[in-house]
């Protein structure tokens, strides 16, 4: 069974964050910021069973931002969607990696209660994780080296791109040394 990935901000989802006014195990309303819908649809990416495309999807998501930042994400089993009767619609993504775009799907026909149900189940069952800024530089550099992402399509600031180039040149010099 494949997994579903949604980009989030990790600090809104802490399972044990003790917020004085919030009943235990309840959700902070701010998590809904991470589940903003358009036309009642929510953009997600499918991840392989063995998560072999996880880093690639994250690199593509990162390359679509303005700055080389951390990327936080929630990953949960696809079966959760059928458990709460959420429909999936295949739709092409708009990232700079075509293979990742093919993994894109929309969760559709979402009502507000359904979205809340999804939020609750994400908090309870999803793996919430983060790739830090330095890991992101490495992942994006790797995707450029492997020709998955066109460097020209990344809209990061020059200082960020300089860091990516540094990672790429270090990688190239290591490869040359190995040979």
Partner 1 sequence: MIDPEVLSTTPSYLPFINPENNTGLLLDQFSDSLFKKTMFVWMARSKETDAATVDYCNEGTESSTSQQADSSELAKKAIALFVSAKEQIFEDGMKSNFSEGLVEFITTYGRTAMDIIIRQILSDQVNYEVVSEALRVIGRIYHPATYRERLWLLEKGLYSASARVRDGACVGLAYLDDPIAIEPLKFAVDREPIPELRKYIEQVLSQLEDTQNGVRLKKDQNESMV
Which residues of the shown chain bind partner 1 in the complex (CB under 8 A)?
Answer: 7, 9-12, 14-18, 30, 33, 36, 62, 65-72, 128, 130, 132-134, 159
Least separation in angstroms between CB 82 and partner 1: 27
Q: Output phi, psi for 43, to 5 deg.
A: -80, 130
Provide the H-helix boundaries in 6-66: 54-63
Question: Which lies closer to partner 1 via its Cβ, residue 15 or residue 179?
Answer: 15
What is the spatial distance between Cα 134 and Cα 35, in angstroms, rounded to a whole number?
A: 26
Which residue is it, tokens 């093919």? 102
List residues bridging with 130 in a β-sheet.
Answer: 72
Question: Which lies closer to partner 1 via its Cβ, residue 36 or residue 90?
Answer: 36
Least separation in angstroms between CB 112 and partner 1: 17
Which residue is it, tokens 């998501």? 61
Least separation in angstroms between CB 129 and partner 1: 8
Question: Which lies closer to partner 1 via its Cβ, residue 8 or residue 47?
Answer: 8
Tell me the two tokens of residue 13.
Answer: 């989802």
Assign residue 101 a region: left if phi > 0, alpha if psi is -120 to 50, beta otherwise?
A: alpha
Least separation in angstroms between CB 34 and partner 1: 8
What is the spatial distance between Cα 101 and Cα 143, in angstroms, rounded to a whole number?
A: 14
Question: Which lies closer to partner 1 via its Cβ, residue 80 or residue 126?
Answer: 126
Least separation in angstroms between CB 162 and partner 1: 11
Question: Which lies closer to partner 1 via its Cβ, residue 50 or residue 159?
Answer: 159
- Which helix or strand (DSSP H or E) is residue 42 part of? strand 42-47
């Amino acid at each position: 069974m494949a997994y579903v990935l949604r980009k989030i901000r990790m600090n809104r989802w802490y399972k044990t964050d003790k917020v004085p006014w919030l009943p235990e195990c309840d959700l902070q309303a701010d998590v809904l910021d991470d589940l903003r819908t358009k036309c009642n649809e929510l953009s997600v990416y499918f991840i392989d069973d063995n998560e072999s495309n996880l880093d690639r999807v994250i690199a593509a998501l990162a390359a679509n931002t303005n700055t080389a930042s951390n990327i936080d994400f929630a990953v949960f089993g696809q079966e959760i969607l059928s458990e709460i009767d959420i429909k999936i619609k295949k739709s092409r993504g708009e990232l700079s990696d075509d293979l990742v775009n093919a993994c894109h799907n929309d969760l559709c026909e979402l009502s507000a209660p359904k979205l809340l149900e999804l939020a609750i189940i994400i908090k309870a069952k999803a793996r919430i994780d983060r790739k830090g800024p330095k890991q992101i530089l490495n992942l994006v550099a790797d995707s450029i080296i492997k020709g998955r992402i066109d460097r020209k399509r990344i809209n990061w600031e020059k200082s960020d791109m300089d860091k990516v180039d540094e990672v790429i040149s270090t990688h190239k010099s290591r490869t040359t040394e190995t040979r």
